[in-house]
């Protein structure tokens, strides 16, 4: 049974996500056009977000992000000890593979990017820190699911609607479980266009001393460049990077 989400909260976050590096302010007309809200509802959301400090009036009818979000962001950064530790590893990983890389945590049925390395290529794939991705159709997500207990995995599968993002997405429960069993046995996960056509990825776990996953690392890019041979080479590089992260966290094994 899918978890019922609060539509008002979801809409509020959809409004905040309209902001970008090139769009510093928004108005009610933007919400009407892009989020399919009526004008009265759009104004009410903007005024509510302003009242909570998430938005600040920038000019007549237009709003910018408020400092309350800056404060929350700083608090989140203080809570995230992994991101800064992982960054040099991901930078080295991307330099070695010439593809983008990222690290994730599992939160509330999704995987969240906590750090990423950029590919220095004219044609590359990028993801923003903080992005949330579905677990069932991504290399990172399948890795996290494969390392869950059977009861945790069952709760996830019962609660999430598995939509076919592409023709390669595994949506049937038995197919996905077979895939997860194979991932647990081999120690890595591959995604070939399961979430987005033309994008492939390979991910490995970083394990704590108790054998539980601490984070996951991946290399990803256009499928046209990531042949089986390239993925095999990337796997060895990822495994070395995972070992480096483990040593940074826990020291070298004695």
Specify if 235 maps to a domain.
Answer: yes
Same domain, 113 and 185: yes
Specify if 106 maps to a domain.
Answer: yes
Same domain, 134 and 202: yes
pLDDT of residue 1: 44
pLDDT classification of 125: cutoffs 50, 70, 90: confident
Specify if 1 maps to a domain.
Answer: no
Q: In whole angstroms, how far apart are CA 173 and each of 87, 166, 170?
A: 35, 17, 8
Angle between helix axes 139-146 and 173-186 (nearest 10 degrees) is 80
Specify if 242 maps to a domain.
Answer: yes
Query: Cα-Cα-Cα-Cα dihedral of 226, 229, 230, 232, to 10°?
Result: 120
Same domain, 112 and 172: yes
The pair of structure tokens assigned to 230 is: 């390239």
Q: Is the pLDDT of residue 64 over 50?
A: yes
Q: Where is 116: in which H helix or E strand?
A: strand 110-117
What phi and psi values does residue 183 have, to the nearest 5 degrees? -65, -45
Specify if 2 maps to a domain.
Answer: no
Give CA–CA dist 7/29, Å, rounded.
Answer: 20
Same domain, 64 and 89: no
pLDDT of residue 77: 57
Give the mean pLDDT of 95-107: 93
Q: Is the pLDDT of residue 48 over 70?
A: yes
Give the mean pLDDT of 188-205: 96
Query: Residue 64 is part of a domain; what is its CATH number?
Result: 1.10.10.10
Q: Which domain holds residue 46?
A: 7-71
- Is residue 88 within 8 A of residue 99, CB to CB? The reply is no
The pair of structure tokens assigned to 162 is: 């598995």
Domain end point (choices 71, 96, 122): 71
Same domain, 58 and 111: no
Same domain, 87 and 52: no
Give CA–CA dist 65/70, Å, rounded.
Answer: 9
Query: Residue 189 is part of a domain; what is its CATH number?
Result: 3.30.450.40
pLDDT classification of 37: cutoffs 50, 70, 90: very high
Same domain, 94 and 184: yes
Give CA–CA dist 209/160, Å, rounded.
Answer: 30
Specify if 142 maps to a domain.
Answer: yes
Give the mean pLDDT of 156-179: 94
Give the mean pLDDT of 201-214: 90
Same domain, 44 and 130: no
pLDDT of residue 76: 62
Same domain, 112 and 182: yes
- Is residue 146 within 8 A of residue 176, CB to CB? The reply is no
DSSP letter string over 95-115?
Answer: HHHSSEEEEEEEETTEEEEEE
Nearest to 189 by CA among 209, 203, 171, 170: 203
Q: Where is 226: in which H helix or E strand?
A: none
Q: Is the pLDDT of residue 212 over 60?
A: yes
Give CA–CA dist 65/46, Å, rounded.
Answer: 11
User: Which residues neighbour 107 within 8 Å (Cβ) at sequence distance 6 or greater?
Assistant: 132
pLDDT classification of 162: cutoffs 50, 70, 90: very high
Same domain, 111 and 204: yes
Domain end point (choices 71, 93, 117): 71
Domain count for the chain, please give it: 2
Domain end point (choices 71, 92, 117): 71
Same domain, 51 and 100: no
Specify if 167 maps to a domain.
Answer: yes
Same domain, 170 and 147: yes
């Amino acid at each position: 049974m899918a978890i019922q989400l609060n539509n008002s909260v979801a809409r509020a976050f959809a409004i905040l996500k309209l902001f970008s590096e090139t769009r510093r302010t928004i108005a009610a007309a933007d919400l009407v056009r892009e989020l399919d809200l009526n004008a009265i509802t759009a104004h009410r959301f903007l005024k509510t977000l302003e009242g909570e400090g998430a938005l600040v009036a920038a000019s007549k009818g237009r709003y910018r992000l408020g400092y309350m979000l800056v404060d929350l962001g700083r608090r989140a950064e203080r809570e995230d000890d992994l991101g800064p530790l992982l960054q040099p590893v991901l930078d080295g990983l991307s330099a070695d593979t010439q593809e983008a890389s990222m690290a994730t945590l599992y939160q509330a049925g999704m995987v969240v990017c906590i750090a990423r390395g950029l590919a220095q290529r004219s044609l590359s794939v990028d993801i923003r820190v903080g992005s949330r991705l579905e677990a069932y159709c991504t290399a990172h997500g399948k890795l996290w699911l494969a390392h869950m207990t059977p009861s945790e995995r069952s709760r996830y599968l019962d609660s999430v609607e598995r939509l076919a993002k592409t023709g390669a997405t595994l949506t049937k429960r038995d197919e996905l479980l077979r895939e997860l069993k194979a991932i647990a046995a081999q120690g890595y996960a591959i995604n070939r266009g399961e979430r987005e056509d033309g994008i492939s990825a390979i991910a490995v776990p970083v394990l704590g001393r108790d054998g539980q996953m601490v984070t996951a690392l991946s290399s990803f890019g256009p499928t046209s460049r990531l042949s089986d041979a390239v993925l095999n080479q990337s796997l060895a590089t990822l495994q070395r990077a995972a070992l480096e992260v483990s040593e940074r966290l826990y020291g070298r094994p004695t």
